[in-house]
Amino acid sequence: MNTEITERITQLRKEMAHEKVDAYFVPGTDPHQSEYVPECWLRRNWISGFTGSAGDVLVTADFAGLWTDSRYFLQADNELVKKTFTLMKTGLPDSVSIPEYLKQNLKNKTVGIDPQVVSIQWIKENQAIFEQKGISIKSLAENLVDRLWKDRPIPSLAPIKPLAEEFTGESHSAKLHRIREVLKTESVSAFVVTTLDSIAWAFNIRGTDIPFNPVIISYALITLEDAYLYIQSEKVSPELEAHLGTLVKIKKYNEIASDLKNLKKQRVLIDPKTTSCWIRDCLSESILHEVRSPIVLFKAIKNKVEQTGMKQAHFYDGIALCKFLSWLEKAVQDKSLTEISAAEKLLAFRKNHPHFQGPSFETISGYKEHGAIVHYRATPESNSTLTPDGVYLLDSGGQYLEGTTDITRTITLGNPTTQQKEHFTRVLKGHIALDSVIFPVGTSGAQLDVLARKSLWSAFLDYGHGTGHGVGCYLNVHEGPQSISSRGHEPLKAGMIVSNEPGYYLSGEYGIRIENLVLVQQEAEGFLSFEAITLCPMDKKLMDVSLMTKNEISWVNNYHAQVYEMLSEEMNKKELKWLTEATEPLE
């Protein structure tokens, strides 16, 4: 693979010279600005060998760099070909972004892009830098990676599944009405929807075009009178047509370009953050109204049916997790269990429920030093054997018809050290502090993030990732606009769901993370709080009670009592014994 990657970069440079560009930008996203990308568009992976879900590549005549954040530093360091690629770490005090690198190194040069995968906002945010240094952005008619990637997979032809109103809580007719009310308020006649989860939400449809994300490769155009869904014609079924009815016209995926070009002189709403330069160019004769998509907030604030469904999904998931952890305690004694086989066993437990649709992301099954790699993925080469010793980090989730789950538990497999217990307990204290907070309406995640870090900071410890992300309802496991991080400035609102997942990672030794999903709910007039909806014990063997306050001990005992009450009747005799011990009160 090392030789292949080096050869691919060599060939890419030849294509760059042919197109007369001095640099070529390969973002890790796709025409829909997706975080997780279908196989047919994994161009950054193919050209660099890096498989993480976040990262961009820039190639010049004498430099190839991959930019990624702290979740992937160790993974990128392992996967990149050192003689060909330079790892450019983002989010650090001395980090240099791609635009800043261009500013420093490519004065009066030309940067090639594929306009279908670069957002309007990225160009706008960096336009001043480019102009200052005489850097020209050149849109190319063909993606240069595609030109080299001869065996590139074709887009998925998997069927589209309508999602019944019993799960969505709102018909697509009602959703289209809500969207059109916004269009009237914004004085626009059309709205171009480019993000796949927004389209799935608006039309109450789900698919399997991207692993772990139940979405469909598609575009949508919503006007005051009509709605159009652009998909591959092979994916159209009588079931889909019956579901959409006369409210939605189905068109071929590539017809979006000509339809947009026909919106001449019309005022069209687009979201610059998620709309590509190519879409903008198709609308060159329209009047563009650039604001955030109204679907973003509609989707983030779950209705009562969705809230109930998310809790139901976590009930199903809690059963699977507890059965697995009960099994794990015995299975690890055999010394034949590995990171991969453990993840496969957990998946088997989840599959026992008929509403389970698949994992919500690739399971992070990290034993000992692998747990310190924040988004570790076990491979046949790295697959460690679990033994009755050390710390095991398990981050996993499921897609159910009712909702999406995401849970992390850190487990000692035996002989926890004093240091491991202290680190775990400080992470737990941060988790509890965030879960317990009552905050005024209008508060953002950025204002709450410090609560999860305070105990770690007092010991001069920290973690590099955000504390929480939004989660979709049988949709993407990462969903905006809300988050709990230094960059999470969206006010939290009742009905939103967000993760609570502080952690600590000791490179080369172990990783610790404790994650529940929480529902933002109204606590009193003008005030909000969090309700934990994840149901699974936290490892008491890793808790140092001497570091915990009485209130923190009470929180653990109350949470465990709730877990026991909800799940005990679903356990067999051996599992019930494990659950009873796992949830017995701390002294």
3-state secondary structure of 404: strand
Sorted by sequence, the CB contacts under 8 Å of residue 228 that are 6+ apart come out as 220, 221, 222, 248, 249, 250, 251, 259
User: Distance between CA atoms of 468 and 356, rounded to whole angstroms?
Assistant: 24
Closest CA to 513 of 526, 523, 503, 522: 503
Low-confidence residues of the chain, pLDDT below 50?
none
Cα atoms in the Cβ-side hemisphere of radius 13 Å centred on 416: 22
Nearest Cα to Cα of residue 170 among 280, 20, 355, 309 = 309
- From CA 66, how far away is CA 44, in angstroms rounded? 9
What lies within 8 Å, CB to CB, of 400 at 6+ separation is 312, 313, 316, 317, 353, 355, 356, 357, 474
| 473 touches 309 (CB < 8 A) | yes
Beta carbons of 160 and 135 less than 8 angstroms apart: no
Alpha carbons within 13 angstroms on the beta-carbon side of residue 152 total 18
Q: Identify whether the C-beta of residue 57 lies closer than 8 Å to the C-beta of residue 26.
A: yes
Cα separation, 260 vs 283, whole angstroms:
6
Among candidate residues 277, 313, 266, 269, the one with its CA nearest the CA of residue 295: 269
Q: Tell me the CA distances in angstroms from 91 to 97, 100, 270, one per residue in order.
A: 9, 14, 29
pLDDT recorded at residue 261: 97
pLDDT at 1: 63
